[in-house]
Amino acid sequence: MKSLVLIIVSLLTISSINCEVYFEEKFPDDSWESNWVYSEHPGKEFGKFKLTAGKFYNDPEEDKGLKTSEDARFYALSRKFKPFSNRDKPLVIQFSVKHEQEIDCGGGYLKVFDCKLDQKDMHGESPYEIMFGPDICGPGTKKVHVIFSYKGKNHLIKKDIRCKDDVYTHLYTLVVKPDNTYEVLIDNEKVESGELEADWDFLPPKKIKDPEAKKPEDWDDRATIPDPDDKKPEDWDKPEHIPDPDATKPEDWDDEMDGEWEPPMIDNPEYKGVWAPKQIDNPAYKGAWIHPEIDNPEYTPDANLYKRDELCAVGLDLWQVKSGTIFDNFLFTDDIEVAKERGEQIKKTQEGEKKMKNQQDEAEREKEKAEKPDDEDDEDLDDEAGEASPIEDHDEL
């Protein structure tokens, strides 16, 4: 028994040693200004980030992050780190987003680049490896982007993944595994998963319909047919409309002036509709014909769709109409459990934010109440004065 315990402990120790945190950023102080690089790409009016925990938070120091600070601006900021590859390993990309400005249109995603990124020239067309995170624009666009570069082109996961649109901090996690599967988590809860091959928007299908196959001419796919022995009843045919038997010619009707009078038409209560024979099971029914499939000659399997040969930089390359989004808690690792452990803190952050915001909202309501003119009391006094005036007139008389 002791030997078994030692083996398990040893395996766990080896596993933890082999797991790596490739990059982590929590923005503890102003040192980010020397590590992150603003783009100077020409032709764009770029906004600046500032370090803050925002207007409401759980911890004023721990919750600090980079906040977009100018409205109607592009933002382009990046940081490089030691290059790594996720060959034969899971890849976890995780970060938090807080749209405390009640964002109406703007990005909240990040991009991951290889080492060829020119940080001072980063812009919307700069090649990237992965793009991940929320994007909101009006009521119609509230989604989480999951985009991979493959053979020089960017390809989107086809599934519609809804993002959070409230004002609190939310954690977004992308897990890519060596078996070409992926998961998307929000606040440590899985919201979507699938296979890259099936969910990318460009890969040709494994199978296609055989272009040479055709449905046999004698194939009967009618489940039912009209009963050949069913006959229409002799009294079936009745007109749909008949003259109203209760209608009478108006007394002032002039045949010479108004023409020959005819009673108005009404629905015929005896009308039975168009007759059709009843349906019976088709004795020749063969079922729905299924088009045979063949291997797609354009399909080429790729077991390495997941693999990124070199990841070297992360960037915030986005546009916002209304600024105020805070980015924080960046983590790139191959350890899914480490990411989940880091993510548990988000629940405490959200609780603290909601508590503080509720207090602020309540204080604002009390302030508005105190500053509001006492119109109702004035109206009451006017009403009392109006009621008293007839008495005063009587006294004067």
Instruction: Give the residue ranges of the annotated binding site.
Output: 109, 111, 128, 135, 317
If one counts every other C-beta atom within 10 angstroms of the C-beta of residue 395, the result is: 6
Long-range contacts for 38-43 (Cβ within 8 Å, ≥24 apart)?
A: 38/76, 38/77, 38/120, 39/76, 39/77, 39/78, 39/119, 39/120, 39/121, 39/122, 39/123, 39/317, 40/120, 40/121, 41/76, 41/120, 41/121, 41/122, 41/123
Q: Give the whole-angstrom CA distance, residue 168 versus residue 296.
A: 47
Report yes or no: 115 and 310 within 8 Å, Cβ to Cβ: yes
Binding site members for an alpha-D-glucoside:
109, 111, 128, 135, 317
Biggest alpha carbon–alpha carbon distance for the chain: 119
Nearest residue to 86 (alpha-carbon basis) of 380, 379, 334, 314: 334
- Contact call for residues 64 and 52 (beta carbons, < 8 A): yes
Q: Give the whole-angstrom CA distance, residue 135 versus residue 164.
A: 10
| Measured distance CA(353)–CA(231) in Å, rounded | 77
Neighbour tally for 393: CB within 10 Å: 9
Two tokens at 366? 């009390």
Q: Which residues pair with 176 in a beta bridge?
A: 91, 182
By three-state DSSP, how is residue 274 classified?
Answer: coil
Contacts of 359 (CB under 8 A, 6+ apart): none
The position carrying tokens 């020409």 is 42
Q: At what angle do helices 345-371 and 336-343 cross, to 10 degrees?
A: 20
Would you call 112 helix, strand, or coil by DSSP?
Answer: strand
What one-letter code names the amino acid at 304?
Answer: N
* Cβ neighbours, 10 Å, residue 155: 18
Cβ(54)–Cβ(323) under 8 Å? no
